[in-house]
Amino acid sequence: MSAERSRLQRLDAISSAAVRFGFFCIWPVAIAVALGATLFSITHSELLPAMFDNRLTHPQRIVALNYLLGSLIGVGVLYAAVLGWRYRRDWPPGFDRARRLHPLLSFLLSGPAIVALTESRIETQHTWRTWLYIALAAAAWWPTFRALSGRKRAVNLRAPALSSRQRDFVGLGIAFVLWGAYAYFFTRLAITNHHLLNTRIVDLGLYDNIFFHSSHGDPLGCSFMVGGNHSTAHFDPILVILSPLYRLWPGPELLLTIQSVWCGAGIVGTYLLGRHQLGSRSWGLVWALVYALHPALHGANLYEFHSLTLLISPLIFALHFLLAGRIRMYLATLVLLLLIREDVSLLMCFVGLFGVVSGDPRLKRAGWVTIIASLAYFALAKTVFMASPDLFNEGDGTYGFAYYYNEMMPNEAKGKSFFITLLTNPAFLAALITKEAKLLYLLVIFSPLLFLPAWAGRARLILLYGFTFILLASRKPVYSPHFQYSAVILPVAVALAPLGLRRLRDARRSDGSLTGGVMGCVLVVSLLASWKFGAIVENDSFRGGFRPIKRGWDDAAAEHYDSFQQLISSIGPEASVSATDRLGSHVSSRATAHRLDQNIDTDYLLVHAHDLKGRNRVSLDRRKKEGKVELVERVGVWTLYRAVSPPEPE
């Protein structure tokens, strides 16, 4: 009986070991398969289209199997070496020791998902699948980041230790370098896009004309607009403050440079915020990089020029100052924010509301000051400086925005109808805010942040304005990451993400491995999302507003631009010009510039053949019929006319 019992015990031990070995092998085999497939795809990139359609030939499949066999052998040898490494007392024996490799190698599982992202036009034709692959890639990296973050680092006693102040200087210096790189890249890209004639009167030409008038003593003046002033649409005195720079470098290129440098400044603000919330300069720099990579930032930055885009960076600084308890700096930044645009004051009311309910006495006082100052400023701007006191700017001689929310306001009483729908029709609201395009928009905004703002506690109140502004809109550009409207939600989301991670870490009383794992995945998702949806790498998805950004500057493009500049060089700086939309931003630096469809007589007419339809055609035909214009020159699709005195009637 004892022999039989011993035999059964040996069989049980063998079977138990076999089961353990079988389960143990699942992970190495999966890693080897992923590694082999990834290496084959990288070394045979010309076969990727055939791989996506499963059209590989038999010899090609044999090569792929050889890659798989090689990776199986390589991974097997690595695990065998670890299993046989018996002299490391700090490692547990047997399978437990080898299992240490599982999380360290799990990042290799992301290879097939990343390769799948190279499929042509996947970001536009299969958007949901694109986000699925990005999520799978991040999930594969999660165990690796957790394992690396949890390991103890050896201290190099020979390395000179830097003081805290020196480390601050280094961290801030890297953030400034990143700011400079961002500003240079996006300034150059924006100006190239402009010189390739890919900008319009609305909105680069319009704001260029505002800068011209403001720098010449006519604050917010704009000849393109009804009433000759931008206050018929918005009140944005920040443009007047910046306008003296226009005397040094007149032209749209200045605006594009200001916008890129201004947006890039948010890199420093995000670094400071991440460092303060997470107590680490390294994590602060990661957040700064995440901000710089964000597709919605690129969309706002490269959609010509808008005063609303200038909200992004100072709002990040303001939220950092508020969360850090630096109330004086916060209040100083609040003044700058209110000067950006009149409706920014509504957003700041939600910032103030957070301060009131935060539970911190200092933030409570700052919150009440914010709410009172913001409401007073909004009332002052609407009743004194703007042409209409209406919330949606409706009225005679104004540019109203009620049509942005047509579905919310089916009745004539637009403002009242909006709030009645908001308060009484939750079923409609649920359908409105869950449209597919809006859900995809939220993915673009929050996925690179791993939805961490959801853990930001009461600070989530600040997001309510952005959600209302974006998700209740009917106009598609409002909930697109390619336009300036993301400025009302992106900086808040970026600012709340480190706060959410800190609260999540503190709630779980976790060690550094949670922060390291989350931050690593944030960086992976940001890199992949920026690759497929951002502007740094050319892709099929990104737009700067309504149109793809043009990047192809070469000798032919330079010659093309030079010929256009030669055409418009005959227009004197004092002359008045009417232009069609595609060309107006190149002649807007003057006192009198109009759209051709405004049908106003001017000294010159600059026409793009593709714009010559509708009211533009009617306006030009009228002048021709009355004999008021003569042809100066026609170059390709561009035509320049000069005003002449009509012939005397016989």
pLDDT tens per residue across span 301-330: 999 999 999 999 999 999 999 999 999 999
Provide the residue ranges of all domains of the chain, joining segments of one domain with +. 2-116, 564-643
Spatial contact of 259 and 309, defined as CB atoms under 8 Å apart: yes
Nearest one of 409, 171, 386, 134 to 270, comparing CA atoms: 171
pLDDT of residue 4: 64
Q: Which long-range contacts (CB under 8 A, 24 or more apart) does 607-613 make?
A: 607/579, 607/580, 607/583, 607/638, 607/639, 607/640, 607/641, 608/580, 608/581, 608/582, 608/583, 608/637, 608/638, 609/637, 609/638, 609/639, 610/582, 610/637, 611/580, 611/581, 611/582, 611/583, 612/580
Number of CB atoms found within 10 A of residue 46's CB: 7
pLDDT of residue 82: 74
Instruction: Report the greatest alpha carbon distance in the chain.
Output: 134
Nearest one of 120, 163, 112 to 139, comparing CA atoms: 112
What does pTM read for this prediction?
0.93
Task: Identify the segments of the chain with pLDDT beneath 70.
Answer: 1-24, 84-98, 151-162, 412-414, 510-512, 647-650
Question: Both tokens of residue 452?
Answer: 């961490």
pLDDT of residue 92: 47
Output DSSP code: residue 305: -
pLDDT of residue 166: 84
The Cα 222–Cα 228 span in angstroms is 5
Q: State how far the alpha carbon of 564 is from the alpha carbons of 574, 634, 637, in Å.
A: 19, 10, 10
Residue 255 CB partners (closer than 8 Å, separation 6+)? 204, 207, 208, 211, 305
Residue 178 CB partners (closer than 8 Å, separation 6+)? 267, 285, 288, 289, 292
pLDDT of residue 301: 97
Bond before 360 cis per omega within 30 degrees? no
